[in-house]
Amino acid sequence: MAWSFSVDSAKEHLPGLVSTASTSMFRDSCKGLKKRPYQCVGTSGIDNDNIRDKNRRLTVEQINFLEMSFNADLKLEPERKALIAKQLGLRPRQVAIWFQNRRARWKNKQVEHDFETLKANYDAVVKEKESLIKDYESAVEDNKRLQAEVARLTNLLQDMKDTDVNNIQSLMKEEQRSGNCELMSPTKSADCQSEIDDLIMPTDAGKVAMTNCSLQELNASIACGVRAEGECAFFMSSENVFGSLPLLVQQLIANGHCFEDAYNIYLGCEYFGGGWR
């Protein structure tokens, strides 16, 4: 195909539409494969209709009308296209192209919006995951600490059983005989056997109440004679706190054990030994 173009004649006939810059581009672009109608004209010369369309921007009014129409319906039926084209003074092809490009822009916006939504959801999930990991690590630490405590007490108890089991049992029997422990006294124990069983010898070892309670708390619980859930349970006379403690506990404390360990050992003997009754 032979391309024929005269820049001078174009400038002469269409001075407002053919700038120096665009004409140089015009020549270059004609060497490319993709050409616009206004760029490469036939031997007949300039195509005035195509030149007129040179990347003409739509007016604000045209765009507003097209936007309104687009918002009403993204698709464009042939009848509507013809009507819009007539109303705006555009070619139906231009209206169709505008709708195509507008749909593409709309789709891009949708993709962006979807991306933002997904990103927000992802961030929330990550945050929740971090929180769960923190909780898990805290639980692992607690578990380690409790296991160490169990091991320590088990060892302590084992040592006591190995060395003093006979002594302990005799002490406990002596305590039971003396009636020092209210609930464990012969008279009380008959009435409160089920309570004692629940307290001292539960079927579930985990229910044995062993907590860190101070001597004051201990005294208070003794005075009230009430065993709150999860508290150390002493059911003894309250005249003299130390003197009312089980003999085993007294002896352990006298031997240098702290109160908590002494009482835990006492309960452990109750639970594991069980032979004093």
Partner DNA sequence: TTTTCGTTCCCACTTACATCA
Partner DNA sequence: GCTGATGTAAGTGGGAACGAA
169 binds DNA (CB under 7 A): no
Give the DSSP per-residue string, 206-260.
GGS------HHHHHHHHHHT---TTS----B-SS-HHHHS-HHHHHHHHTT--HH
**Site size for DNA, by CB under 7 A?**
33
26 binds DNA (CB under 7 A): yes
Spatial separation of the C-alpha atoms in residues 189 and 175, rounded to whole Å: 13
Q: Locate 25 and state its tokens.
A: 């581009």
Residues 231-250 that bind DNA (CB under 7 A): none
Which span (90-98, 123-131, 197-205, 267-275) binds DNA, by CB under 7 A?
Answer: 90-98
25 binds DNA (CB under 7 A): yes
Of the candidates 181, 172, 168, the one whose C-alpha atom is nearest the C-alpha of residue 243 is 181
Question: Smallest distance, Å, CB 36 to DNA?
Answer: 4
Query: Tokens 């003093």 correspond to what residue?
Result: 164
47 binds DNA (CB under 7 A): no
109 binds DNA (CB under 7 A): no
Counting Cα atoms < 13 Å in the Cβ hemisphere of 48 gives 5
Binding residue for DNA, selected from 10, 39, 185, 246, defined by CB under 7 A: 39
Question: Smallest distance, Å, CB 52 to DNA?
Answer: 9
Question: Smallest distance, Å, CB 78 to DNA?
Answer: 4
89 binds DNA (CB under 7 A): no
Q: Locate 65 and state its tokens.
A: 């009308």
99 binds DNA (CB under 7 A): yes
56, with CB counted inside 10 A (0-12, 13-18, 19+), is exposed
CB atoms within 10 A of CB 83: 14
Amino acid (1-letter code) at residue 122: Y
Binding-site ranges for DNA (CB under 7 A): 22, 25-26, 29, 32, 34-37, 39, 53-58, 63, 75-76, 78, 81, 93-94, 96-101, 103-105, 107
